[in-house]
Amino acid sequence: MVAWRNLDQLDAFHALQALEDQVVLKEVMLGDSGKERVEKYQVPMAEGLVYNFAAKKVNDRVLATLSDLAKEAQLTEKFQELYNGEIINTGEHRRVLHHLVRGQLGEDVCVDGVNKRAFYVEQQNKIADFAKKVHAGEITNEAGEKFTTVVQIGIGGSDLGPRAIYIGLENWAKKTGNFKMEAKFISNVDPDDAAVVLNSIDIAHALFILVSKSGTTLETLTNETFVKNAIKKEGLDPARHMVAVTSETSPLAKGTDYITAFFMDDYIGGRYSVSSSVGGAILSLAFGPEVFADFLAGMAAADDTAKNEDIFQNPAMLDALIGVYERNILDCEVTAVLPYSQAMSRFPAHLQQADMESNGKSVNRFGEPVHYKTGPVIFGEPGTNGQHSFYQLLHQGTTIVPLQFIGFRENQAGMDDVIEGSTSQQKLKANVAAQIVAFACGKEDQDLNKKFEGERPSSIIVGDQLTPKTLGAILAHFENKIMFQGFLWNVNSFDQEGVQLGKVLAKNVLAGKSEGALAAYSKLLGI
């Protein structure tokens, strides 16, 4: 059995706190030793990716202590318990099985006589079969015509992940001949969100995917009816235009209002559901089931490296440990995720949910208050755009923000020109290399307004190209990083009780039951 202990109960954490002489980046990153450091401080990731942490404020001594911390916190054993189906989500008394969706890491997990891996594969096959029939024109609209657009109706984990991956692969798919159908997303209860999407598509040829695990999400059920009303206004039958992704126990599962339903279950948290039917349906329809299978293969490969006990062969664990060092020793409150790839424009928004909703907690897994900082605030935009926006504060502001860069050697669309002696892709890459060094080493200047202190830590994930496999591996890297950090902070990363109160109060407002300040705000807003 593993021991679930708070971070500040671990000897290695106190050893970490006791370490003196913090690493000075502008010293260690200088000259030839800096070059050697960049070559040495990197570990291989799945799918040919590399995690380079040379510009982090660590040295061999810090790393050795982090390695001790990993062992003392039993990170590997806890991951084992998780993928072997223990009740890791204690608050909701649930297993945490999103890894099982994309591969068999450990033992069979059977619940009520059902082998869960078999169940997930069955759903994948069902989706693949459905998608192929839609693409082949065997499943059509009432008029026997092909569906040309697929629209996901979902919010939070049913929106951010699938949307980020769709945007991430759309142009790769177009370039490689894997693009099958355009995808759109309706998420917000703001009626303008649904209106805009509905006005931009040909409803008669649109297939809608209703995604709600519980079948009770206010926004999603509202948008379902909103969309059905719009379909009816076209004189069409909503039941011929909609599929459901839900759990077998949800009210939606029993409905006859859908062409068919694909299932997930309570062991897949919303923010970890891209690899389940939640991402599977829309991505298989947009790009074909083979592309989605490749995406899952990339995730599975990353999960496999996360099993390694050696932190230098486990980039997710190493990344997690360095993040805890930055959060709890260097006292940093924010982390920026900065992909140098326009296709990853919404990836930071997905990580924002995955990370902040998982580890933004103040009590440990036993419901006791913790006396240290947990999950940081996450934000980010693609580079080089961010350079012309918020990088000023990152370079010269009074808050130190650790940075997580991502870069690729090649672009996706394969369209590039040599302009002033270099291609756009070379310029993009030169910029990310330059930023890492600028953030770490800074620059002296007599004019303090032009001086750069440096000492801004960063890491970079580098790959050849953003593809289904590499994108899958990167996403799983971050999912596993968040998991390991949750283990270190001893929080339950898989519940989200913090979203409940707002829901209850909003229902009160709509039921006319608000009073005091809530009534005054309702009046102000003209409800």
What string marks each residue from 12 to 51 as x (binds a second copy by CB under 8 A) or -? -----------------xxxx-xx-xxx--x-------x-
Which is closer to a second copy, CB of 29 or CB of 476? 29
Candidate residues 407, 457, 468, 486; the one interacting with a second copy per rule CB under 8 A: 407
Judged by CB under 8 A, the chain residues 427 through 446 that form the site for a second copy are 427-438, 440-443
Q: Taking CB under 8 A as the rule, does residue 506 contact a second copy?
A: yes
- The alpha helices in 44-115, defined as continuous H runs, are 60-72, 75-83, 98-102
Q: If we measure between CA atoms, which residue out of 377, 303, 398 comes closest to residue 335?
A: 377
Q: Catalytic pick from 20, 388, 420, 515?
A: 388
Q: Which stretch binds a second copy (CB under 8 A): 97-105, 247-255, 388-396, 479-487?
A: 388-396
Which is closer to a second copy, CB of 170 or CB of 257? 170
Q: Taking CB under 8 A as the rule, does residue 384 contact a second copy?
A: yes
Q: Which stretch binds a second copy (CB under 8 A): 67-75, 296-304, 352-360, 479-487?
A: 352-360
Q: If we measure between CA atoms, which residue out of 110, 102, 103 comes closest to residue 85?
A: 110
Which is closer to a second copy, CB of 241 or CB of 429? 429
Tell the smallest beta-carbon distance from residue 233 to a second copy (Å): 10
d(CA 499, CA 157): 13
Candidate residues 462, 468, 474, 486; the one interacting with a second copy per rule CB under 8 A: 462
Q: Is 372 in contact with 382 (CB distance < 8 Å)?
A: no
Q: Which stretch binds a second copy (CB under 8 A): 181-189, 204-212, 236-244, 300-308?
A: 181-189
What string marks each residue from 92 to 131 as x (binds a second copy by CB under 8 A) or -? ----------------------------------------
Q: Which stretch binds a second copy (CB under 8 A): 208-216, 252-260, 415-423, 472-480?
A: 415-423
Q: Catalytic pick from 40, 233, 451, 503?
A: 503
Retrieve residue 374's tokens: 């947990």
Q: Taking CB under 8 A as the rule, does residue 379 contact a second copy?
A: yes
Tell the smallest beta-carbon distance from residue 214 to a second copy (Å): 12
Q: Catalytic pick from 219, 357, 381, 479?
A: 357
Which is closer to a second copy, CB of 103 or CB of 454? 454
Burial of residue 421 (number of CB atoms within 10 Å: 0-12, 13-18, 19+): exposed
Q: If we measure between CA atoms, which residue out of 62, 65, 58 comes closest to residue 24?
A: 58
Main-chain phi, psi angles of 112, to 5 degrees: 50, 45
Q: Taking CB under 8 A as the rule, does residue 510 contact a second copy?
A: yes
Which is closer to a second copy, CB of 216 or CB of 260? 216
Q: Which stretch binds a second copy (CB under 8 A): 56-64, 107-115, 261-269, 506-514?
A: 506-514
Beta strands 50-52; 182-186: pairing state: unpaired
Q: Taking CB under 8 A as the rule, does residue 479 contact a second copy?
A: no
Which is closer to a second copy, CB of 6 or CB of 76? 6
d(CA 505, CA 242): 31
CA distances to 132, 141, 240, 357, 512 from 137, rounded to whole Å, are 8, 9, 14, 40, 48
Judged by CB under 8 A, the chain residues 68 through 87 that form the site for a second copy are none
Candidate residues 103, 280, 288, 382; the one interacting with a second copy per rule CB under 8 A: 382
* Owner of token pair 């790009």: 287
Q: If we measure between CA atoms, which residue out of 349, 413, 297, 351 comes closest to residue 48?
A: 297
Q: Taking CB under 8 A as the rule, does residue 270 contact a second copy?
A: yes
Q: Taking CB under 8 A as the rule, does residue 501 contact a second copy?
A: yes
Main-chain phi, psi angles of 518, to 5 degrees: -60, -40
Q: If we measure between CA atoms, which residue out of 355, 323, 373 comes closest to residue 69?
A: 323
Which is closer to a second copy, CB of 238 or CB of 289? 238
Which residues, in sequence order, are CB contacts of 247 under 8 Å at separation 6+? Answer: 213, 214, 215, 253, 263, 264, 265, 266
The angle at the Cα of 71, spanning 65 to 74, to the nearest 5 degrees, equals 140
Annotation says 388 is catalytic: yes
Tell the smallest beta-carbon distance from residue 174 to a second copy (Å): 7
Q: Taking CB under 8 A as the rule, does residue 157 contact a second copy?
A: yes
d(CA 205, CA 192): 21
Sheet with 182-186, strands from edge to edge, namely 182-186, 149-153, 206-211, 242-247, 261-264
Residue 16's SS3 state is: helix
Judged by CB under 8 A, the chain residues 189 through 208 that form the site for a second copy are 189-196, 198-199
Dihedral of CA atoms 346, 210, 93, 491 in degrees, nearest 10, equals 10
Judged by CB under 8 A, the chain residues 284 through 323 that form the site for a second copy are none
Measure CA of the first residue to CA of the last residue in the chain; give whole Å.
Answer: 53
Tell the smallest beta-carbon distance from residue 280 to a second copy (Å): 20
Q: What is the size of the binding site for a second copy (CB under 8 A)?
A: 162
d(CA 20, CA 355): 30
Which is closer to a second copy, CB of 5 or CB of 427? 427
Q: Is 279 in contact with 263 (CB distance < 8 Å)?
A: no
Annotation says 444 is catalytic: no
Tell the smallest beta-carbon distance from residue 183 to a second copy (Å): 15
Q: Which stretch binds a second copy (CB under 8 A): 104-112, 142-150, 307-315, 495-503?
A: 495-503
Q: Which residues pair with 94 in a beta bridge?
A: 89
Could you list the active site residues? 357, 388, 503
